[in-house]
């Protein structure tokens, strides 16, 4: 009897939509969100849980306008919370309640969901939690308030835009954290704002837009590691003499990151490791910079594989913009724009988490052992959730919902040709970054370096 009960407790159990949501939005998270809302202005009609559940459902359901999506989400929320007070009936009242909702509430829920991701999934790979960082723009309606608050003065011809920078777990495609702000040339400041969300053993993989001494120093101070692509804008210094033969045969080596501004400010140099990934053509070589000096801890093969995984960032933005139809936000005030973007990103995170959870549970059941989470198909997970919203699957029906999630596997076939079918006329042709500039340390720089090491000792 004891053995049977233990095996039954350890056996994966199919979960309904409500049980799947409660795995990530626990009662403790709802309580923390309600406490964070008490400091701000509260709506008389809209409580915290139905308000957030309605705005999440509006991201998942179908509809050409906010009013149409609200009618579907309102009815679904009333079914999910049947024993509680019903939500409001008008979209105008919903928007007023959402505008009064403090952003602290959404941030509190996001922190709780991140903790649940760490407890439910094994996100480590070779001892790292590999997170990719990238950004994208979200267009907004052309209204006077958004044009004044969002657009910089030199970009008045374009539609108002919100820039979102996201950290994505590259092994599974899970959205980890995000930061919202104004438009271009703020990627590095957005990534600095996300450093407090990093878990232990985090390795940030980013493109050439996230270079620079200041950002690298702050990542190191956050006790994290980075793997960032270099370009011709970067200047690195070496202890050894630079010759054409050494550059031609260069594969990896330790270098110094010490720009002129850092030397003038008396800041110490950064001892980093430069990795060169050889491409089929010399001009397509990829130069990566990392603060992991031990080649056994992060080998060239691992760095190459992790940087290829960085495409999960682009896949996440494709899911958000195309699959969930968030290419352009619909809100017309600055308060509603921020809340619509943050809530829709939270809905994307929950969508991917449910998919990875359902796929990994099915794989463990088939193999009879613990396995790493596998990437899921966001489109198939969305169709399963929409089947619940439309009433084709009951909110408490376990087997049918779990079966749909178990089949939501991403395509794994090996491609033999490019995915690009035609050349778009307005698309800018991608040019790979050129190699970084390598310079040998001069005599004055070596003396200054020795003086700094003596002071530190």
Cβ proximity of 272 and 254 under 8 Å: yes
Q: Is 135 helix (H, G, I), strand (E, B) or coil?
A: strand
Listed in sequence order, the DSSP H helices in 81-206 are: 91-100, 103-120, 144-149, 187-193
Let me know: does 32 contact 105? Beta carbons within 8 Å: no
Among 250, 116, 227, 92, residue whose Cα is nearest residue 174: 116
Higher-confidence residue of 384 and 369: namely 384
pLDDT the model gives residue 5: 43
Token pair 């919203």 in the structure block, residue? 389
Strand pairing of 175-181 and 235-238?
Answer: unpaired
What pLDDT is stored for residue 61 in this prediction? 96
How many Å separate Cα 215 from the centre of its chain? Answer: 18
How far is Cα 355 from Cα 120, in angstroms, rounded to an integer? 13
The pTM (predicted TM-score) of the whole model is 0.92
Quote the CA–CA distance of 54 and 80 in Å, as a whole number: 10
The CA–CA distances, whole Å, from 220 to 51, 148, 191, 245 equal: 39, 37, 13, 33
Stretch 148-176: mean pLDDT? 85
What is the per-residue pLDDT across 403-427, written as a single tens digit (0 to 9) for each?
A: 999 999 888 777 777 766 677 777 7
Q: Name residues whose C-beta falls within 8 Å of residue 77's C-beta, 6 or more positions apart in sequence.
A: 50, 53, 54, 57, 87
What is the average pLDDT value for the chain, to the nearest integer? 88
Chain position carrying tokens 């991140």: 114
Taking phi over 0 as left and psi of -120 to 50 as alpha, with beta for the rest, 230 belongs to beta
Q: How far apart are CA 14 and CA 362, in angstroms?
A: 9
Label residue 253 exposed, middle or buried (CB < 10 Å: 0-12, 13-18, 19+): middle
**303-315, pLDDT tens digit by residue?**
999 999 999 999 9
Q: How many CA atoms lie within 13 A of 200 on its CB side?
A: 3
pLDDT digit string, tens, across residues 434-457: 999 999 998 888 888 888 877 766
What token pair was written down for 90? Answer: 């008008």
Convert the pLDDT of each residue in 66-85 to its tens digit: 999 999 999 999 999 988 88
pLDDT exceeds cutoff 80 at 249: yes
């Amino acid at each position: 009897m004891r053995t049977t009960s233990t095996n039954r407790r350890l056996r994966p159990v199919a979960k309904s939509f409500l049980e799947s949501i409660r795995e990530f939005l626990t009662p403790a998270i709802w309580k923390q969100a309600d406490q964070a809302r008490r400091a701000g202005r509260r709506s008389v009609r809209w409580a915290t849980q139905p308000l957030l559940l309605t705005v999440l459902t509006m991201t998942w359901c179908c509809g050409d306008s906010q009013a149409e999506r609200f009618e579907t989400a309102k009815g679904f929320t009333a079914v999910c919370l049947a024993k509680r007070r019903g939500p409001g009936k008008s979209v105008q009242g919903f928007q007023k309640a959402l505008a009064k909702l403090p952003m602290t509430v959404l941030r509190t829920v996001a922190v709780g969901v991140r903790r649940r991701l760490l407890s439910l999934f094994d996100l480590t790979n070779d001892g790292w939690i590999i997170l990719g960082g990238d950004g994208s723009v979200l267009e907004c309606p052309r209204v006077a308030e958004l044009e004044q608050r969002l657009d910089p003065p030199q970009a008045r011809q374009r539609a108002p835009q919100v820039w979102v920078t996201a950290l994505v777990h590259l092994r599974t495609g899970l959205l980890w954290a995000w930061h919202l702000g104004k438009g271009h040339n703020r990627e590095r400041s957005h990534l600095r704002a996300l450093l407090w969300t990093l878990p232990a053993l985090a390795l940030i993989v980013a493109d050439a837009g996230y270079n620079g001494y200041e950002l690298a120093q702050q990542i190191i101070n956050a006790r994290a590691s980075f793997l960032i692509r270099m370009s011709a804008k970067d200047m690195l210094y070496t202890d050894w003499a630079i010759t054409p033969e050494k550059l031609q045969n260069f594969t990896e080596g330790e270098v110094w990151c010490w720009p002129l501004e850092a030397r003038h400010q008396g800041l110490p140099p950064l001892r980093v490791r430069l990795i060169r990934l050889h491409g089929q053509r010399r001009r397509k070589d990829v130069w990566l910079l990392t603060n992991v000096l031990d080649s056994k801890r992060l080998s060239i093969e691992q760095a190459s594989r992790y940087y290829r995984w960085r495409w999960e960032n682009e896949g996440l933005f494709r899911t958000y913009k195309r699959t969930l139809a968030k290419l352009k936000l619909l809100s017309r005030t600055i308060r509603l724009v921020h809340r619509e973007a943050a809530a829709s990103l939270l809905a994307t995170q929950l969508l991917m988490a449910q998919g990875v959870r359902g796929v990994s549970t099915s794989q463990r059941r088939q193999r009879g052992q613990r396995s790493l989470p596998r990437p899921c198909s966001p489109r198939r997970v969305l169709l399963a959730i929409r089947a619940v919203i439309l009433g084709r699957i009951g909110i408490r029906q376990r087997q049918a919902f779990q079966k749909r999630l178990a089949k939501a596997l991403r395509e794994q076939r090996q491609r033999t040709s490019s995915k690009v079918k035609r050349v778009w006329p307005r698309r800018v042709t991608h040019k790979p970054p050129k190699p970084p500039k390598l310079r040998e340390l001069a005599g004055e720089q070596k003396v200054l370096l020795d003086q700094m090491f003596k002071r530190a000792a």
